[in-house]
Structure 1
């Protein structure tokens, strides 16, 4: 199972990225990207990390994705041959924002 999870994470990330383009409507003035997927070992849950630019649209995009969760799970079920489709939980990925803040702090110290 441990070899399967990384491959499954990547596959679900790819399929969700496709679903963002075709299955749900998100604001056109925000760039929404699936950054990472972490599936639990029992395949019950999947945490989906999403990057949204501009960051001010992030909470709205996450709320829209949460509302569309069942539709996205159904999309995954039709595209993937899995016995169980994990329950999706979306979270805002702030990694780039934090890295940018650290870089600004380091630049100000030099």
Structure 2
């Protein structure tokens, strides 16, 4: 079971990264990058940030840009969030939505 502190950290990191995506980071034109979830390790040293990108064809480009700008993001998080240790951020594409769409398509084909 996740501790209350980790839940709070997850929510704080999620909110702050969502804000920074809009205000500080350069994303591909005509794309939407959304923070879906954040999972922080028990020792608070690492946080996995799950993102969704629309259109899906921009996912690779968006992920490359996020990873290229991780230093800026980490610096801004360190400046805004005042707890120790501050987790090191890692971005992962959330595949839930794509998987759900694939399953729905398979089900629709089998019903035809």
TM-score, L = length of structure 1: 0.94
Q: Where does residue 6 of structure 1 map in the other structure?
A: 7
User: Which stretches in structure 1 are left out of the alignment for 5+ residues?
Assistant: none
Counterpart-to-counterpart distance in 2, 1:50 and 1:65: 10
- List per-residue Cα deviations over 1:7-54 (Å, max 9, x = no partner): 110111011000001111111211111111111111111111110011
Task: Note if contact 1:73-1:85 (Cα within 8 Å) is conserved in structure 2.
Answer: no
Aligned length: 110
2:89 equivalent to 1:88: yes
- List per-residue Cα deviations over 1:63-109 (Å, max 9, x = no partner): 11111112111111111111222111111111111101111111222
SS at the partner of 1:24? coil
| Dislocated runs of 4+, deviation >3 Å | none
Q: Where does residue 44 of structure 2 map in the other structure?
A: 43
SS at the partner of 2:83? coil
What root-mean-square deviation, in Å, do the aligned CA atoms of Structure 1 and Structure 2 show?
1.2
User: Which stretches in structure 2 are left out of the alignment for 5+ residues?
Assistant: none
Q: Where does residue 68 of structure 1 map in the other structure?
A: 69
Counterpart-to-counterpart distance in 2, 1:13 and 1:75: 13
